[in-house]
Amino acid sequence: MSSTTNSPTHHTSTIGSIGTPSRRNTELALLVFAVVIPVFAYANVGLAINEEVPSGLLSYGLGLGLLAGVAHLVVRKFAPYADPLLLPVATLLNGLGLVAIWRLDQSKLLQRIEQAGTAAPRQLLYTAMGIALFVVVLVFLKDHRVLQRYTYISMVGALFLLLLPLVPGLGQNIYGAKIWISVAGFSIQPGEFAKIVLAIFFAGYLMVKRDALALASRRVLGLYLPRGRDLGPIIVVWIISILILVFETDLGTSLLFFGMFVIMLYVATERTSWIVFGMLMSAAGAV
């Protein structure tokens, strides 16, 4: 009788002591692939253009690997239960982007536009700056939920950043797109920062409104249609994305902002109808 009574207590303590796996070793293994693949791509570009391995291959691989390693150690220390896929995916995309920029550096056309070989090293410097900001956020932002206090402030800040390229004397028209500003001799795209701020706004808004957005008034062709008054936010964002397209002449940025909102809507509500509506509205806006 006593052994039967003690058994559940024993099992409960054993299960509780196991804990949740951090999956940081999984992240580290994926990071190795995320660094190795761009290094091979870098070598492939050199062999295709000059039929020899690029002289900067070792420094490129070590630089990218060092930056990824620093980010991994900080995540292991300050966010041990973070998703193990995000950092490797970001590292891989960034590494391949650096290879693509270096390939363009070798183009004679680009050499006539700007000094040869300057874009890729500068981009690697921006990568280091991004990792530094990444570390600052992880160290000082202990609880991401505090960002919900700044939901609508984030919306205003994002709109401000998006409108900066339209300010006379500050914005620049490069290759037909008005998405750049020039500050102290440096050209930057404020829209890149607006993406982060908009993500904070979308997350905060959907956290409060997701139940209302998930409600459906009727079902048509297998899709649950949201109520008319719940279409307001997505229509507003659609209009803003169209305005960005019209005044800044940049289809990619417009679709990116709108697509980010639609995908976050789908994640929050699990309604396939939002994806369908988003694609139809994006197509209409592009046309």
Under the banding of pLDDT at 50, 70 and 90, the label for residue 39 is: very high
Residue with tokens 């402030």: 153
pLDDT for position 217 = 60
Q: Tell which residue, 82, 94, 95, has the closest CA to residue 27.
A: 82
Nearest 5°: phi and psi at 187?
A: -105, 125
Region 24-41: mean pLDDT is: 95
Nearest 5°: phi and psi at 225?
A: -90, 130
Most confident option among 156-165, 210-219, 241-250: 156-165
The pLDDT > 90 percentage for the chain reads 23
pLDDT for position 231 = 65
Region 60-82: mean pLDDT is: 93
Q: Is the pLDDT assigned to residue 94 strictly greater than 90?
A: yes
Region 223-246: mean pLDDT is: 71
Under the banding of pLDDT at 50, 70 and 90, the label for residue 4 is: very low
Burial of 177: CB neighbours in 10 Å, binned 0-12, 13-18, 19+:
middle
